[in-house]
Chain A
Amino acid sequence: MRVMVIVKADKQSEAGTLPDKKILTDMGKFNEELVKAGVMLAGEGLQASSKGARVKFSGGKKTVTDGPFAETKELIAGFWLWQVKSMEEAIEWLKRAPFEGTEVEIRQVFELEDFGDNATKEFKEQEERLRTQIAGKR
């Protein structure tokens, strides 16, 4: 299964300052470990929200707001995509990450198998029809 590991923004990341050398080195080591274990599929750090934008959809209208955005704790500063056997494995890996003074979130990615044995044939067909419809609308 795959998980997305979501790293929250903080004052520093929002100010656009890069982490100090020690943190970068430690993070580099951790990333290397993830790659060597065949766990890391992708991972990116995000620039400050001042360089971002939001599009609001409401009543058929689209309103664009430019960053920065105020609620720092709800912003994300980076993510990984990991391939693991279980949520517990993801947690074990994350515990090894060199973070301090923050909370990092792990979320499971939907996979085909999630609809697997438990899903009825009708459900799968409905899912397929929906996908076809969505594809048709694109």
Chain B
Amino acid sequence: MTATDTHRAIDAVWRIESPRLIAGLARIMRDVGIAEDLAQDALVAALEQWPESGVPQNPGAWLMAAAKNRAIDALRRKKRLERKHEELGQELEAGPQAPGDLDAALDDDIGDDLLRLVFIACHPILSTEARAALTLRLLGGLTTDEIARAFLVPEPTIAQRIVRAKRTLTEARVPFAVPRGAELAARLKSVLEVIYLIFNEGYAATAGDDWMRPALCEDALRLGRILAELAPQEPEVHGLVALMEIQASRVGARVGPSGEPVLLLDQDRGRWDHILIRRGLAALERAEKLGGSRGPYALQAAIAACHGRARAAAETDWARIAGLYAELALAAPSPVVELNRAVAVAMASGPLAGLALVDALTGEPSLRDYHLLPSVRGDLLGKLGRFDEARAEFERAASLTRNARERELLLGRAAACARG
């Protein structure tokens, strides 16, 4: 094995092992930042030793042992420090366990630790960007560089974002625990939001030249699938996984030959990924069996499933979709949901019925710069033969989108309206 091969193997081991490693260490050290530093130290040791000695037979255990030794050292230092503080008569809260308990503690059920790590990485005291970066780093095992490339920002920005996030968590003394009772629902919502944000950044890139960045979708899906096994009793987790699986099934059909977006109803359904659709439908069933078919993610998944089940665009059950959007508007009211409902209603009952709903939204302040509002309105006006109005709407939509590929598509539609 060459040194490069070994480094690539170490990267792979790191991706597999680091979440468990950091989660276990975080419980012992009661600090995610220190835990990650210790895990990183173990990684550095591997990078130094493995190219010489070869990758060990059980690399995970090797990393864990290396991290444990460093944890013991850190705890001893901390204890000495605490003793000094005690001598100074300072009051201290109960410190971490003695090094002797470490082995047993690290071998405890790791699943709970991972779940704690998810909740801490997505803690609401952090900004959304920080949550996304920290989650990809701690749970997804991505390097800072990979995260930076995924979000199209310079690496130092991400590195700083992560350092600051870890500091914030330490300073706020955020407990390394799974929230309970009423807090759980709110905190879970934050976790799901972060994962879906990562997915969407890949699925409909808000910036840049590419319409999609599928690798980011895959990262989000993986996080979702991990979460579904960590918190299998939570219906909305399965709802989110179902939604992402079904949406991801269309990735291959959503881009045309020169990278331009292809809209849902124009997609070649033969290119949809039927493995992912099947996985999505199974996840949706899990959500429904847990009595969670009314949650916002499960409802969106149910809508996506309607498309997933239709073998041809013409077979889509638009009435059912319009009904699901009406439910979604109650569960999670938002002008964007209302806009989507308008599209479904237009498909089920004609463009005029849809347009009435869209027109009611034109004064909505939160949609003022939202390119899909004029885009949908343009589409409905076009269907009604009102081409001049439609063209103006498409042009407005094109001026509002930040995605280059989407802008081209919208300008194309505007030009088509001019031809009548």
A88 CA / B215 CA spacing, docked (Å): 16
With both chains docked as a complex, state the minimum distance between the C-beta of B309 and any C-beta of chain A, in angstroms: 19
Chain A residues with CB under 8 Å of B271's CB are 131
Structural contact, B221 and A38, CB atoms closer than 8 A: yes
Taking the complex as formed, is B108 at the interface, i.e. its CB lies under 8 A from any CB of chain A?
Answer: no
Taking the complex as formed, is A35 at the interface, i.e. its CB lies under 8 A from any CB of chain B?
Answer: yes
The stretch among A9-17, A49-57, A89-97 that forms the contact with chain B is A89-97
Structural contact, B258 and A92, CB atoms closer than 8 A: no
The proximity string for A residues 35-54 relative to B, scoring 1 for CB distances below 8 Å and 0 otherwise, is 11111011000000000000
With both chains docked as a complex, state the minimum distance between the C-beta of B272 and any C-beta of chain A, in angstroms: 12
Taking the complex as formed, is A112 at the interface, i.e. its CB lies under 8 A from any CB of chain B?
Answer: yes
Which of A37, A85, A125, A127 sits near B226, CB closer than 8 Å? A37
Structural contact, B9 and A38, CB atoms closer than 8 A: no
Most chain B beta carbons < 10 A, residue from A35, A42, A88: A88
A44 CA / B299 CA spacing, docked (Å): 31
Q: A86-B12, A92-B13 are in contact. Are A125 and B258 (CB under 8 A)?
A: yes
Q: A38-B225, A83-B218 are in contact. Are A121 and B257 (CB under 8 A)?
A: yes
Q: A91-B9, A124-B258 are in contact. Are A41 and B222 (CB under 8 A)?
A: no
Structural contact, B229 and A112, CB atoms closer than 8 A: no
Taking the complex as formed, is A26 at the interface, i.e. its CB lies under 8 A from any CB of chain B?
Answer: no
A39 CA / B229 CA spacing, docked (Å): 12
With both chains docked as a complex, state the minimum distance between the C-beta of A133 and any C-beta of chain B, in angstroms: 13
Chain B residues with CB under 8 Å of A42's CB are 275
Count A-B contacts at CB 8 Å.
65
A131 CA / B268 CA spacing, docked (Å): 10
The proximity string for A residues 44-83 relative to B, scoring 1 for CB distances below 8 Å and 0 otherwise, is 0000000000000000000000000000000000000101
A37 CA / B15 CA spacing, docked (Å): 10
Which of B15, B221, B257 sits near A128, CB closer than 8 Å? B257
A36 CA / B229 CA spacing, docked (Å): 6
The proximity string for B residues 205-240 relative to A, scoring 1 for CB distances below 8 Å and 0 otherwise, is 000000000110010011111100110000000000
Taking the complex as formed, is B96 at the interface, i.e. its CB lies under 8 A from any CB of chain A?
Answer: no
Taking the complex as formed, is B279 at the interface, i.e. its CB lies under 8 A from any CB of chain A?
Answer: yes
Chain B residue with Cβ nearest A128: B257
With both chains docked as a complex, state the minimum distance between the C-beta of A119 and any C-beta of chain B, in angstroms: 10
Q: A83-B218, A112-B214 are in contact. Are A135 and B268 (CB under 8 A)?
A: yes
Taking the complex as formed, is A103 at the interface, i.e. its CB lies under 8 A from any CB of chain B?
Answer: no
Chain A residues with CB under 8 Å of B412's CB are none
With both chains docked as a complex, state the minimum distance between the C-beta of A99 and any C-beta of chain B, in angstroms: 14
Chain A residue with Cβ nearest B57: A95
A88 CA / B13 CA spacing, docked (Å): 8
Chain B residues with CB under 8 Å of A89's CB are 12, 15-16
Query: Could you tell me which residues of chain B, from 43 to 90, have a CB within 8 Å of some CB in chain A?
Result: 59
Query: Could you tell me which residues of chain A, from 93 to 138, have a CB within 8 Å of some CB in chain B?
Result: 93, 111-113, 121, 124-125, 127-128, 131, 135
Chain A residues with CB under 8 Å of B189's CB are none
Structural contact, B251 and A112, CB atoms closer than 8 A: yes
With both chains docked as a complex, state the minimum distance between the C-beta of B229 and any C-beta of chain A, in angstroms: 5
Q: A88-B8, A121-B257 are in contact. Are A93 and B16 (CB under 8 A)?
A: yes
With both chains docked as a complex, state the minimum distance between the C-beta of B200 and any C-beta of chain A, in angstroms: 18
A124 CA / B260 CA spacing, docked (Å): 12
Chain B residue with Cβ nearest A126: B257
Chain A residues with CB under 8 Å of B9's CB are 88, 91-92
A93 CA / B271 CA spacing, docked (Å): 29
With both chains docked as a complex, state the minimum distance between the C-beta of A92 and any C-beta of chain B, in angstroms: 4
Which of B15, B257, B268 sits near A85, CB closer than 8 Å? B15
Chain B residues with CB under 8 Å of A36's CB are 111, 226, 229-230
A124 CA / B9 CA spacing, docked (Å): 33
Chain B residues with CB under 8 Å of A111's CB are 214
A86 CA / B14 CA spacing, docked (Å): 12
Structural contact, B12 and A124, CB atoms closer than 8 A: no
Structural contact, A38 and B8, CB atoms closer than 8 A: no
Chain A residues with CB under 8 Å of B225's CB are 35, 38
Structural contact, A135 and B270, CB atoms closer than 8 A: yes
Taking the complex as formed, is B256 at the interface, i.e. its CB lies under 8 A from any CB of chain A?
Answer: yes
Structural contact, B256 and A128, CB atoms closer than 8 A: yes
Taking the complex as formed, is B179 at the interface, i.e. its CB lies under 8 A from any CB of chain A?
Answer: no
Structural contact, A124 and B257, CB atoms closer than 8 A: yes
Structural contact, A41 and B16, CB atoms closer than 8 A: no
Interchain residue pairs A-B with the least CB separation, the first 9:
A38-B225, A88-B12, A38-B222, A128-B257, A89-B12, A92-B12, A38-B226, A36-B229, A125-B257
Q: Which residues of A contact B (CB under 8 A)?
A: 35-39, 41-42, 81, 83, 85-86, 88-89, 91-93, 111-113, 121, 124-125, 127-128, 131, 135
Apart from A36-B226, A37-B226, A112-B252, 6 more pairs, CB < 8 Å: A37-B222, A38-B221, A38-B225, A85-B15, A89-B15, A112-B214
- Could you list 9 examples of A-B contacts with CB < 8 Å? A36-B111, A38-B226, A39-B222, A41-B279, A86-B8, A92-B59, A93-B16, A112-B214, A128-B257
